[in-house]
Amino acid sequence: MGLKTLLKMYPQIAGDEPVTLEDILEYSQGKPGKHGDVLNYAHQLNINKLLMDLADPNIPEQDIETIREVMDNPNDHLDILAFLRLYNEDTLGNSIPNTREWLYTAFNNLKVFKKQ
């Protein structure tokens, strides 16, 4: 669904109050059309929420500590060959088109962000 459809179906998401996935699913109960489609995908939506929830990430505490260490002590060296090796070992295929170009762009953006 596009943004216009979402806003039409769920006008509350345009408000100032946070709206949870549970709110959306509850609001969709008994409504016809695309609301039923949303309910049919409730299981997948919950999985996506677990994977993408930045407010409450599904990450083990030990890994959170590792992430904090890396954020506090960033590495300024981009080892493209090491990244590509890991990328291929993880069999990610072509999930990142133009991988080398993406690496340079993403890494340079991080350097700019770090300097701010």
Q: What is the pLDDT of residues 56-86, one digit of tens each?
A: 888 888 898 888 888 888 776 778 888 888 8
The pLDDT, as a whole number, for residue 45 is: 92
Looking at the fold, whether 48 and 79 belong to one and the same domain comes out as no
The pLDDT, as a whole number, for residue 114 is: 63
Looking at the fold, whether 45 and 11 belong to one and the same domain comes out as yes
For 79, the domain range is 75-115
**Residues 21-62 pLDDT 10s:** 999 999 999 998 899 989 999 999 999 888 888 888 888 888
Residue 58 lies in a domain: no
Output b/e per residue, 9-26; b: 16+ Cβ within 10 A.
bbeeeeeeeeeeeeebbe
**Per-residue tokens: 17:** 């109050």
Looking at the fold, whether 47 and 84 belong to one and the same domain comes out as no
Single-letter amino acid code for the residue at 53: D
Q: How many domains does the chain have?
A: 2
Q: Which residue has the tokens 């609001």?
A: 27
Looking at the fold, whether 43 and 82 belong to one and the same domain comes out as no
